[in-house]
């Protein structure tokens, strides 16, 4: 169970390394198995390569084990994807989450396969494990099953899983059935429980920034079918619904600022913007007083 971690920003809208390291330690203490940093929720595509590298370096320096980090390294430029992936490996991070190239549209399956294949060949490191990132509503580039099959056949020790943030549960279960041993990870918090029951591997989700303990409980007790499991799932669903009332990243940051008492969490880097005060007030009015956000 991995958290798609938010990225805190300082007054200059640069990643706040100290606050981020503290957040990572908190998430791990709440039961997360690892931190998926610099993904969609972490505003990765708003940061330069240098900023991305510095954030990973800072969290490793702060004592978080590289084995607990799953950074996003997929960007539009092939050579930059290689650079970011090699950098992660140089720090001891061996598993990365990799977006497909996402600027050019209507890319052929051959082109998509060639892009991932070229990155793996150029990185040329047997330690590398790649979790594909299927989020077509953002990338406008789906990852078809035929491409997954080719990549797994060519690089069976490298292409180890996929984060499916499409919300298409049928696609997730189809991959579980089609690709034995391939880790299918849900990108939507409420889908963790049903996916585990179908043989899924877990999740990389945004609302775990707020309800990591509940998601960890579901991950470890999904076969119990008792009142505690039902209660945890209900809190997860409510938290996800609350986080989806307005623009998700801004909403999550507003909720995390309220939960931690650190107002700086509300900052986003343009073009993303914080919630208006009116919407923030509406959101926070829905937060129960005696249960986790």
pLDDT tens, 184-225? Answer: 999 999 999 999 999 999 999 999 999 999 999 999 999 998
Catalytic residues: 40, 103, 133, 163
Residues with Cβ within 8 Å of 16's Cβ and at least 6 positions away in sequence, in order, are 8, 9, 10, 264
| Percent residues over pLDDT 90 in the chain | 97
Quick check: 289 pLDDT over 90? no
Query: Is the per-residue pLDDT at 2 higher than 70?
Result: yes
> Cα 231 to chain center, whole Å?
24
d(CA 129, CA 112): 18
Residue 138 has pLDDT above 60, yes or no: yes
Distance CA(52)–CA(72), nearest Å, equals: 9
Nearest to 113 by CA among 122, 101, 128: 101
Extended beta strands in 135-281, E state: 159-164, 183-186, 202-205
**pTM for this prediction:** 0.95
Structure token digits, residue 241: 């619904």
Query: To which H or E segment does residue 195 belong?
Result: helix 192-197
């Amino acid at each position: 169970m991995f958290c798609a971690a938010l990225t805190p920003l300082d007054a200059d809208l640069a990643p706040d390394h100290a606050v981020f390291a503290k957040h990572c330690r908190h998430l791990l203490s709440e039961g997360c198995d690892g931190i998926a940093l610099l993904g969609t929720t972490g505003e990765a595509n708003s940061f330069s390569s240098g900023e991305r590298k510095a954030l990973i370096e800072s969290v490793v320096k702060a004592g978080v084990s590289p084995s607990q980090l799953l950074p996003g390294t997929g960007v539009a430029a092939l050579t930059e994807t290689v650079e970011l992936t090699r950098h992660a490996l140089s720090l001891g991070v061996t598993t990365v989450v990799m977006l497909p190239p996402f600027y050019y549209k209507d890319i052929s399956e051959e082109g998509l396969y060639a892009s991932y294949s070229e990155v793996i060949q150029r990185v040329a490191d047997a330690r590398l494990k790649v979790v594909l990132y299927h989020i077509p509503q953002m990338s406008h580039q789906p990852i078809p099953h035929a491409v997954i099959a080719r990549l797994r056949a060519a690089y069976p020790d490298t292409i180890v899983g996929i984060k499916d943030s499409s919300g298409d549960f049928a696609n997730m279960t189809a991959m579980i059935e089609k690709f034995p041993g391939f880790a299918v990870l849900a990108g939507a918090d409420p889908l963790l429980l049903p996916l585990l029951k179908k043989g899924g591997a877990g999740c990389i989700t945004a609302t775990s920034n707020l309800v990591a303990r509940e998601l960890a409980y579901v991950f470890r007790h999904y076969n119990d079918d008792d009142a505690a499991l039902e209660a945890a799932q209900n809190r997860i669903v409510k938290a996800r619904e609350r986080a989806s009332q307005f623009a998700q990243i801004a909403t999550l940051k507003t909720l995390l600022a309220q939960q931690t008492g650190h107002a700086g969490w509300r900052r986003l880097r343009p073009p993303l913007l914080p919630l208006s005060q009116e919407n923030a007030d509406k959101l926070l009015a829905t937060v129960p007083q005696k249960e986790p956000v």
